[in-house]
A and B are shown apart, each in its own frame.
Chain A
Amino acid sequence: IAGITQAPTSQILAAGRRMTLRCTQDMRHNAMYWYRQDLGLGLRLIHYSNTAGTTGKGEVPDGYSVSRANTDDFPLTLASAVPSQTSVYFCASSDRWGSDTQYFGPGTRLTVL
């Protein structure tokens, strides 16, 4: 593989269920990001990690958690999904924190009913 992969591609989930969105990059990038994209709102940063072992909160972190156990993986977990978390989720990475070049994954379309 090359670049960033996300799984699943799409998912329909019942409210209250737990869900983990997976993100893997093979570029050995230090920084990784999770965004959500909603119609009419653009992308909003949920959480980020500037290096393995560290994470930070973005603009809309409530209801989401992340971990960064290694360089390649950056999963996003919804502990108890709610309908307002229906969105398209994008993972991105950059070689270092502060780099202006981010590489985006293809996205996960999540519907919470």
Chain B
Amino acid sequence: KQEVTQIPAALSVPEGENLVLNCSFTDSAIYNLQWFRQDPGKGLTSLLLIQSSQREQTSGRLNASLDKSSGRSTLYIAASQPGDSATYLCAVRPLPVNDYKLSFGAGTTVTVRA
């Protein structure tokens, strides 16, 4: 059974600092990995998706890396802003490709202090 872990559970940084969020998974047989953002009282919004064949994916200030063999992904957020305050979750999609049941981490709650 796939286990997805996100450490730390919470993080507080001053505005302008770079954020580094970690995600680890136990089974390297994954199809892809996705990072989501969740604002308080809201649903999830997808930020980045990395296919298993990719090493990284970038969107604006966000960069996600994937090391499938070691079971790790990292989400980097450059020059953090108070608007980046949210909970960030990672989710892995397993193989085979027709098994579309995501395994989610518990998330890292980020607070960016102005």
* Residues of A near any B CB (own CB < 8 A): 4, 39-45, 48, 58-59, 90, 92, 97-98, 100-107
Query: Is there an interface contact between A45 and B44, defined as CB atoms closer than 8 Å?
Result: no
Query: Is there an interface contact between A104 and B43, defined as CB atoms closer than 8 Å?
Result: yes
Given the interface pairs A90-B43, A104-B43, A107-B43, the reply to whether A45 lies near B89 with Cβ below 8 Å is no
Query: Is there an interface contact between B43 and A98, defined as CB atoms closer than 8 Å?
Result: no
User: B46 to chain A: closest CB distance in Å?
Assistant: 6
Contact of A42 among B49, B100, B106 (CB under 8 A): B106
* Residues of B near any A CB (own CB < 8 A): 4, 9, 32, 34, 41-46, 49, 89, 91, 93, 97-98, 100-107
Query: Is there an interface contact between B106 and A41, defined as CB atoms closer than 8 Å?
Result: yes
Query: Is there an interface contact between B98 and A92, defined as CB atoms closer than 8 Å?
Result: no
Query: Is there an interface contact between B101 and A45, defined as CB atoms closer than 8 Å?
Result: yes
Query: Is there an interface contact between A45 and B41, defined as CB atoms closer than 8 Å?
Result: no
Query: Is there an interface contact between B43 and A105, defined as CB atoms closer than 8 Å?
Result: yes
Secondary structure class of chain A's binding surface, majority of residues: loop
Residues of chain B within 8 A (CB-CB) of A59 are 101
- A23 to B107 alpha-carbon distance, docked (Å): 24
Query: Is there an interface contact between A106 and B41, defined as CB atoms closer than 8 Å?
Result: yes
Residues of chain A within 8 A (CB-CB) of B32 are 100
Given the interface pairs A98-B97, A100-B93, the reply to whether A107 lies near B42 with Cβ below 8 Å is yes
Residues of chain B within 8 A (CB-CB) of A45 are 101-102
Query: Is there an interface contact between B46 and A101, defined as CB atoms closer than 8 Å?
Result: yes
- A98 to B42 alpha-carbon distance, docked (Å): 24
User: B31 to chain A: closest CB distance in Å?
Assistant: 9
Given the interface pairs A42-B4, A43-B89, A100-B93, the reply to whether A90 lies near B44 with Cβ below 8 Å is yes
Closest to B102 in A: A45
Query: Is there an interface contact between A40 and B106, defined as CB atoms closer than 8 Å?
Result: yes
- A48 to B100 alpha-carbon distance, docked (Å): 10
